[in-house]
Structure 1
């Protein structure tokens, strides 16, 4: 019988950043990875402290940005690679009113460190009213990040590539097959709906598509451009996306979403382009846009970490430490993320 401090079920941002906390604190663990590409693994990797529709920020944005940068440096210490891409977001303004609103919001104490007061003009895309730069924004090298972390875990015999079987959990002995565990953390995204212990948590699927395109005239700057969607280079192609859909939740590509993306790109890119690839995933979202963290009411060794939504990188990184401190140091969960907030 193998003994571990933790079993992690799920291999998206929540599971991987939780694994980092366990590595930092010398805890033994295994992670179960089904082998399918999660919503995290096909995500854009945007690191953004600003809500770009309304030019507002969100709860603990600066703390999350700072914590992520520190965590990525720690991860570089054992993977040998830096997965942070310094490619700030440039938001294309629709009109002069948006320019004025940005300038006004940039004086706000919550936004002064995020909204750059100087406007830029970006060559190669339509931005008649210029763009505003989001300071402290960046991207994660998503493919490199997951490849690097999975490789590290595999080398340490901590990655188990198989579908987790809930029926094989013995809650009395705290065992799963031939593994004895102290704690088991379910980080499954929308897979939680199949989990008999936490299937009732209030997460809803939000389907997102993105396309990868070949631009006939490549952009001269390695930045992230945003109007309706995000545009940025990945190797010799460009990522453009993603959409948001809470209605069409079937497990295949929606042509209407692809059409929406092609049209959106055509509105800002004046040259020919070719769609090379289409991907989609299901983001686990919560109505108040904050994660869900908690302990099972009957089985005290079981926990859930879910509902990261569109800010999976920031939420997954920051709140993995909150969950770790809740379990190991008996620190209370903030009411804003505790699953008990939906108890009634």
Structure 2
């Protein structure tokens, strides 16, 4: 029997950022990864403090950005790489009214650090009304982040590449197979619906598609372009364009209407030929009030859930991993806006 502090179930942003908290604090753990690509692993990796439809920001945006930068520096200490790509978002304006709204909002105290007051014209894409730059926005190098962290966990024997079997869990004695544990943290995304302990939490699937395309003409380097969706270069010479949001078509295959939506959206801003080389989709776990769901099981006090990160998986997963760690180890209460008790 191996004695460990934690079992983590799930291998998306929630699971890996929580694993980092355990590494940082010298806790023993294993992380169960099913091996299927999670929504996190096919995500765009956008780090963005602004809601780009309405030009507003969100709860704790600056704190989350600052904490992410610190955390990625800590992760660099053991992977040897920093996965933060400096590629600010340039939002293409639809018309002059959007320009005026942007300038007006940029005078607000909570938005002045994010909305650049100088507009830019980008070559290679249609932007008749120019673009506004989102300061402090960036991207995560998603594939490298997951590949390197899995490699690190595997070398340290923290990674178990198999599906967690709930029936093998003996809660009364805190034993799972050959492990005697203190705590289990379930970070399963939409997989939580199969979890007998947390299947009733209020997360809903939101299906997102993106395409990878080959462009016939180059676009500006070092920026992430946004109008309806995000456009930016990937590692292999292709460009990422996405993603869609769909709460209705929740089947486990590509939805051609979503692909058509993306092709039409890209055609609106990119006036040259392009070829769709790849289509991916995933199911984001979203919550009605747009806050994560974190906390302790009502009856089994060493079982925890960390879910509902939604479209801001990187910022939410990073920032609230510390909140969950502090709840478990220091008994510091969660903020009521993210605690699972708000739905009781």
> Does the TM-score normalized on the shorter chain lie above 0.5?
yes
Q: Which residue of 1 aligns with 2:335?
A: 334
Q: Which residue of 1 aligns with 2:108?
A: 108
1:253 partnered with 2:264 = no
1:71 partnered with 2:71 = yes
SS at match of 1:262: helix
User: 1:98 Cα shift?
Assistant: 0.1
1:139 partnered with 2:159 = no
Distance between the aligned counterparts of 1:282 and 1:135, measured in 2?
Answer: 29
SS at match of 1:290: coil
1:51 partnered with 2:71 = no
Distance between the aligned counterparts of 1:16 and 1:220, measured in 2?
Answer: 32
How big is each residue's C-alpha offset from its partner over 1:281-331, in whole Å with a ceiling of 9 and x where there is no partner?
000000000000010111111000000000000000000000000000110
Structure 1 stretches of 4+ with a deviation exceeding 6 A read: none
TM-score computed with the length of structure 1 as normaliser: 0.99
Distance between the aligned counterparts of 1:220 and 1:207, measured in 2?
Answer: 29
User: 1:170 Cα shift?
Assistant: 0.3
Matched length: 343
Distance between the aligned counterparts of 1:147 and 1:176, measured in 2?
Answer: 27
Distance between the aligned counterparts of 1:209 and 1:332, measured in 2?
Answer: 36
Distance between the aligned counterparts of 1:326 and 1:64, measured in 2?
Answer: 18
How big is each residue's C-alpha offset from its partner over 1:71-116, in whole Å with a ceiling of 9 and x where there is no partner?
0000001100010000000000000000000000000000000000
User: 1:220 Cα shift?
Assistant: 3.0
Q: Which residue of 2 aligns with 1:207?
A: 207
Q: Which residue of 1 aligns with 2:122?
A: 122
Q: Which residue of 1 aligns with 2:224?
A: 224
User: 1:219 Cα shift?
Assistant: 1.2
Give the 5 Å matches for 1:72-87.
72-87=72-87
SS at match of 1:336: coil
Distance between the aligned counterparts of 1:313 and 1:270, measured in 2?
Answer: 32
Give the 5 Å matches for 1:155-304.
155-235=155-235, 236-304=237-305
Report the aligned-residue RMSD. Answer: 0.4
Distance between the aligned counterparts of 1:24 and 1:299, measured in 2?
Answer: 26
How big is each residue's C-alpha offset from its partner over 1:171-221, in whole Å with a ceiling of 9 and x where there is no partner?
011010011100000000000000000000000000000000000002132
Distance between the aligned counterparts of 1:167 and 1:294, measured in 2?
Answer: 22
Distance between the aligned counterparts of 1:224 and 1:4, measured in 2?
Answer: 42
Distance between the aligned counterparts of 2:48 and 2:220, measured in 1?
Answer: 22
TM-score computed with the length of structure 2 as normaliser: 0.99
Structure 1: gaps spanning 5 or more residues: none
User: 1:222 Cα shift?
Assistant: 2.1
Distance between the aligned counterparts of 2:65 and 2:281, measured in 1?
Answer: 26
How big is each residue's C-alpha offset from its partner over 1:258-286, in whole Å with a ceiling of 9 and x where there is no partner?
00000000000000000000000000000
SS at match of 1:239: strand
Q: Which residue of 1 aligns with 2:38?
A: 38
Q: Which residue of 2 aligns with 1:9?
A: 9
How big is each residue's C-alpha offset from its partner over 1:28-76, in whole Å with a ceiling of 9 and x where there is no partner?
0000000000000000000000000000000000000000000000000
Distance between the aligned counterparts of 1:144 and 1:83, measured in 2?
Answer: 7
Distance between the aligned counterparts of 1:291 and 1:222, measured in 2?
Answer: 31
SS at match of 2:94: coil
Distance between the aligned counterparts of 1:77 and 1:255, measured in 2?
Answer: 43
Distance between the aligned counterparts of 1:23 and 1:122, measured in 2?
Answer: 43
